[in-house]
Structure 1
Amino acid sequence: MARIDPLHATAGTARFSGIPAGPGIGVGPVARMAAPPSLPVERPAVDDPGHEAARARRALEEVGDLLDRQAGGLEGEAAAVLDAQALMARDPELARRVGERTGKGDSAAWAVHAACGTYQESLLAAGGRPADRAEDLAHVRDRAVALLLDRPMPEPPDPGVPHVLVADDLAPADMVRLDPRRVLGVVTRHGGPTGHTVILARALGIPAVVGCEGAEGLVDGTRVAVDGDEGTVLVEPDEEFVDRVRRRAEDTRALLAGSTGPGRTADEVAIPLLLNVGEGDPREAGAHDSEGVGLLRTEFLFLDRTEPPSIGEQTDVYTALFEEFAGRVVTVRTLDAGSDTPLAFAPTGQEANPALGVRGFRTSRLHPELLTAQLAAIAAASGRSSARVRVMAPMVSTPDEAAAFVALAREAGLSDAGVMIEVPGAALLADRLLPLVDFVSIGTNDLAQYTMGVDRTLGALPDLLDPWQPALLRLVGTVGEAGERAGRPVGVCGEAASDPLLALVLVGLGATSLSMSASASAAVRHALGLHTRKRCRELAEAALAAPDAAQAREAARAAAEPGVLG
C-alpha cells in the first residue's frame, strides 16, 4: 500500500500543528464544542452558608452518579477513566475545600469553582500522578457548576452529519460517548501526549490532534483534514487530497483486518505484541489478539481504601485475569504508589516534589509489608493458572534496588522477575543492572519526563515530551544494547509502542517485545511484517542522528518501507 503524502504536501491551505493523538486521517466539517459555563460577573449574596454547602455536595454527588452511569455501559480503559473521575467528584478533600468556601460566604457554584481551582493548583504542584488528576478535576468542576447554575452541561455537539469535533479540551466523559462513525476526527487546543484524550482516542480509533495551536480559530462548517499520525490539521484541503485520504482509509481497513497472529519482522524475528491492562473485564482483555500482557497495572486494587486489600482478595483478582491468558505471558507491575498517589494506609510524609520522592518500589522502604503481601498473592494466583506470570517493580533506580526486588520475588516463589526502566540512572547503568534480573521493561512516559526535565502532564511543553526526542531514544538504545549483551529481554510498555513507525525504531534500538493498547496492535503488527530487523536498526540510526523529535520522525519515515501506517 502506498503511503499518502503528509498533509503539508497540499498547497494553498492553512496548516496547524499539534501532538499526534489518534492514528489515521479524518476529513470533515468542523463542529465546535461550546465552552463550559462561566460564573456570573457579580457574586450572589448568601443568607444560609449551610444550605449552599449542601447544594454543592449534591451537585458533586450528581456528577459522580452521572459518571458511574456512563462507566456502567463501558469496559476496559474507558470504564476505568470514568470510574476514577466519579471518585474524584466524591473526594472528601474536595468536599472539605467546598465547605471552607461556603463558610466564607461563597454561593454553591462559586464555592465549587474556587475549591476546584485551589485543589488543582495543589495537584499540579505535586507533579506526577496527582498532576494527571488536575485535568479530571476541571471536568468535574464544569459539570457541577453547570448543574448549580441550571445551565446545560458541556457536551459534544451533534450537527446531524459526520464531522470533526473541535474543542478547547475534552473530558473523558465526553470522549467515551463519541461515535467513530459520526466523529471523523478530534482537535483540541489543550492537552499533552499522555492525557486521557490521547488514550481514549486511540482506543476508539478516532484520528486526533491535541495541543493544537490555531484550533481556537477553526469555525463551524469549515472543512478540515485531521492527521493523527503527523499531528497536523489542514484547512480546506482540495478534492484530490480528500480522494487520496479516502483511498488510504479503505486500504488501511483492509490491511488491518488481515493483520493477525504473533508479531514478527519480515525476516521472522519474533517480537511479541502484548497488552497494557488495568481495571476492567478480564474476559475482554483475554479475547484480544495478543500474545499476553506486557503491563498489568495493579493500583486499582489499592486506591481509595482505608485498608490494603488482603492477600486473599488480591489472589482472587489476579487469578481471574491469569485464567483468561492461559498459556500466555502476563507481566504484573507491583504497586506504583506513594506520595504522588497517596494511600491512606501507607503514609510517606510530606514531600516538596512527590514525583521525585517515595513512589513505586521505594514505597517498600517504609511499608515493606505491602510488597511482600502482593508478591505472595501473585505467586498464589500463578499457581492456580497456566499463564506464564512475570513480576516487575516500578521506579527502580539502581542495580542494588533491582537485586533486592528479585530476591523478594524469588522468596515469594516467583521465578521470573524484572524491573521497569523509567529513570535515566537505571538506563545509564543498564550493563550492571541487566545481569541481575530476568528482564526489563521500559516505561517511556516516565523516562521521557525525567530525561527531559518536564512534567509529563504539562501541556505547555509538549515537544519536550515527544517520545521521538533523540535523547530519550538514545537511552532506550543504551538499555537495548545492554539487554543484548546480557541475553535478557527488553520490553517497551509506554505509549510510544503504540506508534507503528516508532515501534520499528524501538525494535531497532533493541526492544524484544512491545506492549500497547489493544487498538494499536494490528497496525504495529503490519508495520513489523514489512521490515527486517536490520532495516529497523537503520531506521533507529536515522532517528538518533536527527537534531530534534520532528526531524527524527521524518528521518525514520523516509527510511521506512512504503505502506507503514503512521
Structure 2
Amino acid sequence: MGVSPGIGHGPSYVLTVSVPEPPEGATYTGEAEQEKERAMAALTQVAGELEARGNQAGGEAEEVLKAQALMAEDPGLVVKVRSLIDRGTAAPRAVFEAFTKYRDVLAGSGGYLGERAADVGDIRDRVIALLTGQAMPGLPVAPEEPYVLVARDLAPADTALLSKDDVAAFVTEEGGPTSHTAIMARSMGVPAVVACPGATGIPPGVRVMVDGTSGDVRVQPAESDVADAVGAATARKAALATWTGPGATADGHPVPLLANVGDPAELDAAVAAGAEGVGLFRTEFLFLDRTEPPSAEEQVRAYRAALEAFPGGKVVVRTLDGGADKPLAFLPTPAEPNPALGERGLRRFARFPEVMDAQLSALAAAGASSVMAPMVATAEEAAWFAGQCRDRGLTDVGVMIEIPSAALRAGELLAEVDFVSIGTNDLAQYAFAADRGLGAVSRLQDPWQPALLDLVATTAIAAARAGKPCGVCGEAAADPALACVLAGLGVTTLSMAPSALAAVRAGLAAHTLEQCEAAADAARGRSSAADARAQARAHLPGLARLRL
C-alpha cells in the first residue's frame, strides 16, 4: 500500500529489533521494593528520552513522541509491572509481560489502535535493553547517500530525527494509512510503502526503488528503470507547477479543492499548496492523549487559527470523532467486542453532552459556521445534531457519510442538514467489512471498488436533487484520476492532503466535465477495482500527458 507519494531509491537498510525476550520464569535476588524501583527508574528514563527526542525533532514528531512517552508511564501498565514483581518476577520479564499483553490487545483492535501496537513494543524493548545493559539497534549516522529504510514496523523514536537528507524512502511489512510510518513519511515528504509482506527479507545494502504512489518496491532495479522513474517524477512536478488557480474542469465547471487538516501546524502547508479552504478540520488532536478535556480558550484558539488561515474560504470543522480506535482518557471507555461498530463519533458525543456543549460553544465563539458530525447513520441522528448546532448559532450544518445506511438514505439526511461530506475510508470499511488499518484486506479498501463508487453516486444524486453541496474528504480525492471520476459523479468539492492538491488541480483542468462523466460511467460499469481504474483512465487522456 503506497501511503506517501514519490519515487525514492538507494541502498537498503534493514532495521531488525534484536532485544531478546527475557527468559520466562526469571526471578530476582534482593528485595521486591528495590526491583520495583529499578523498573520504575527505567520506565521514567525511557519516557524522558522519548520526550527529549520529541523536543529536538519538533513538529508532528514532537506530538507523536510525547504521546509515546505517556504510554511508558501509563498507570495501568505501571501497576501491572509492580504486581508481577511482587510475585517474584524479575523486572525485565515483568516489563515484557505487561507491555506485550497490552501491545497484543492493541494489535487485535485494528485501525488506529492497532497501529499504535508498534509504539508499545518499542517502549518495552527500550526499557528491557536499559534494564539488561543492552544497546538498542540504531540507524546509520551520516550515511554516504540516502538509504531505503526497511523494517517490520517503525516506532516514532526510530524516525523522529531523520530527514530527507538521510532517508530516501520507507518500506514496512506492517502498518496502514494511519500508521506512524505513513504519518511521518507524509510529514517529511518521503515516499513510503506499508503492508509489504517479506520486506525484511530484502538483503541489506542492495539497491531498492520505492514508488510511494503505486506501492511498488523493486529490488535491484536496472539503472535505466531508476532513471526513467526519476525523470518522470521530475517532469511531472514541473508540469504540475504550471497549473494554478481554483479547481475547475477544462470547460470551467468549478470543483473547489480543499485541504484535510489534522492540527493548526498543517495550515501553512495547505495555504502554500493553494487550497481554497479546509474541507476536513479534524479536532481530535485537542482531545487525544490527555487526562482532562481541553479548555474553552484552547479550543477557540485552535478553531480561529483555521478560520484566519482562510478568511475568504470555507472551513469545515468536524466535531470530535472519539471512541473505538481513538479512545479518550478523560471519558470512561466501554468494553466492546467490536469497537469499530460500537459507540464512536456522534454516538459518543451524544452520551457526553458536556463535551458536546463545550465544543459547539467554542466553535460558535470562534466564529465558525460550517460544522459536521462524524458517524451519522440515520436522518433522526442528523436532525438531532443539526438542532444542537443551530441552538448555538452555528448556521451551516453537515454530516459525514461514512455508513452505508447514510448513503442509501442520503436524501432523508439532506432534508435535515445543509451539506454532506463523504468519508471514503470509513465508508469502504463498513461497506466491505474490511478494517481500514489491516494490510491483509487493503484490496477491499481500494476506493476504485465499483460498489463504493455506487454509494458515492447515490449520495451525490440525492444532494443534487436537494440543491445542497456534497463533498468528498477521504483519501480517494487525492487520486487525480479518481478526482475526475468523483466530479463526474456529481461531487461538488474535493478535500485531500495538501501534497495532493497540485496533481488533482492539473488532472481536473485537463478534462471537460463531459469526459469526467464518461469516466465515471465507465468505472461504475465494471466489476473490479482494477478494471474500473483502467476504464476510467481510458476516458481521461490528459492524465498520461501530465504523467499522472
Q: Same fold (TM over 0.5)?
A: yes
Task: Report the Cα distance in structure 1 between the residues aligned to 2:527 and 2:497, rounded to whole angstroms.
Answer: 29
The structure-2 alpha-carbon separation of the partners of 1:512 and 1:144, relative to structure 1 and needing over 3 Å to count, comes to farther
User: Which of 222, 225, 230 in structure 2 is aligned with 1:241?
Assistant: 225
Cα deviation, 1:55-102, whole Å, max 9, x if unaligned, reads 333333333333333333556544433333233223222222322332
1:146-295 correspondence to structure 2 within 5 Å: 146-158=129-141, 159-281=143-265, 284=268, 287-288=271-272, 289-295=274-280
Name the structure 1 match of 2:503. Answer: 523
Q: Percent identity?
A: 51
Cα deviation, 1:7-53, whole Å, max 9, x if unaligned, reads xxxxxxxxxxxx12221222322222233422245654312433333
Given that 1:527 and 1:565 are in contact with CA atoms closer than 8 Å, whether structure 2 keeps it comes out as no
The structure-2 alpha-carbon separation of the partners of 1:63 and 1:420, relative to structure 1 and needing over 3 Å to count, comes to farther
SS in structure 1 of the partner of residue 462 of structure 2: helix
After TM superposition, give the deviation of residue 211 of structure 1 in Å: 1.2
SS in structure 2 of the partner of residue 230 of structure 1: coil
After TM superposition, give the deviation of residue 393 of structure 1 in Å: 0.6
Name the structure 2 match of 1:303. Answer: 288
Aligned-residue Cα RMSD (Å) equals 2.6
Task: Report the Cα distance in structure 2 between the residues aligned to 1:425 and 1:255, rounded to whole angstroms.
Answer: 41
After TM superposition, give the deviation of residue 281 of structure 1 in Å: 3.2
Task: Report the Cα distance in structure 2 between the residues aligned to 1:236 and 1:283, rounded to whole angstroms.
Answer: 39
SS in structure 2 of the partner of residue 29 of structure 1: strand
The structure-2 alpha-carbon separation of the partners of 1:239 and 1:130, relative to structure 1 and needing over 3 Å to count, comes to closer
The structure-2 alpha-carbon separation of the partners of 1:75 and 1:177, relative to structure 1 and needing over 3 Å to count, comes to closer
The structure-2 alpha-carbon separation of the partners of 1:439 and 1:565, relative to structure 1 and needing over 3 Å to count, comes to farther
After TM superposition, give the deviation of residue 425 of structure 1 in Å: 0.9
Q: Which runs of 5+ in 2 are unaligned?
A: none
Tell whether 2:71 aligns with 1:88: yes
SS in structure 2 of the partner of residue 206 of structure 1: coil
SS in structure 1 of the partner of residue 164 of structure 2: coil
Tell whether 2:30 aligns with 1:29: no
Task: Report the Cα distance in structure 2 between the residues aligned to 1:187 and 1:417, rounded to whole angstroms.
Answer: 41
User: Which of 370, 373, 379 in structure 1 is aligned with 2:358?
Assistant: 373
Cα deviation, 1:406-461, whole Å, max 9, x if unaligned, reads 11111100111101111111111112212321111112222222111122222332
Given that 2:261 and 2:267 are in contact with CA atoms closer than 8 Å, whether structure 1 keeps it comes out as no
TM-score when scaled to structure 1?
0.88
Task: Report the Cα distance in structure 2 between the residues aligned to 1:183 and 1:563, rounded to whole angstroms.
Answer: 30
Name the structure 1 match of 2:344. Answer: 359
Paired residue total: 543
Tell whether 2:300 aligns with 1:315: yes
TM-score when scaled to structure 2?
0.90
After TM superposition, give the deviation of residue 367 of structure 1 in Å: 1.7
Name the structure 1 match of 2:335. Answer: 350
Given that 1:399 and 1:433 are in contact with CA atoms closer than 8 Å, whether structure 2 keeps it comes out as yes
Name the structure 2 match of 1:12. Answer: none
Task: Report the Cα distance in structure 2 between the residues aligned to 1:253 and 1:92, rounded to whole angstroms.
Answer: 49
Task: Report the Cα distance in structure 1 between the residues aligned to 2:281 and 2:238, rounded to whole angstroms.
Answer: 31
Task: Report the Cα distance in structure 2 between the residues aligned to 1:173 and 1:257, rounded to whole angstroms.
Answer: 35
Task: Report the Cα distance in structure 1 between the residues aligned to 2:326 and 2:177, rounded to whole angstroms.
Answer: 20
SS in structure 1 of the partner of residue 116 of structure 2: helix
User: Which of 407, 410, 413 in structure 2 is aligned with 1:430?
Assistant: 410
After TM superposition, give the deviation of residue 379 of structure 1 in Å: 0.6
Task: Report the Cα distance in structure 2 between the residues aligned to 1:448 and 1:51, rounded to whole angstroms.
Answer: 52
Given that 1:277 and 1:285 are in contact with CA atoms closer than 8 Å, whether structure 2 keeps it comes out as no
Given that 2:149 and 2:169 are in contact with CA atoms closer than 8 Å, whether structure 1 keeps it comes out as yes
Given that 1:194 and 1:495 are in contact with CA atoms closer than 8 Å, whether structure 2 keeps it comes out as no
The structure-2 alpha-carbon separation of the partners of 1:70 and 1:266, relative to structure 1 and needing over 3 Å to count, comes to farther
User: Which of 325, 328, 352 in structure 1 is aligned with 2:313?
Assistant: 328
After TM superposition, give the deviation of residue 508 of structure 1 in Å: 2.7
Tell whether 2:529 aligns with 1:549: yes
The structure-2 alpha-carbon separation of the partners of 1:500 and 1:173, relative to structure 1 and needing over 3 Å to count, comes to farther
Q: Which runs of 5+ in 1 are unaligned?
A: 1-18, 383-387
Given that 1:348 and 1:358 are in contact with CA atoms closer than 8 Å, whether structure 2 keeps it comes out as no
Whose relative contact order is higher, 1 or 2, with alpha carbons under 8 Å and at least 6 apart?
A: 1
Name the structure 2 match of 1:412. Answer: 392
Name the structure 2 match of 1:385. Answer: none
Moved more, 159-168 or 427-436: 159-168
Name the structure 2 match of 1:486. Answer: 466
Aligned residue identity for 2:233: A
After TM superposition, give the deviation of residue 405 of structure 1 in Å: 0.9
SS in structure 2 of the partner of residue 281 of structure 1: helix
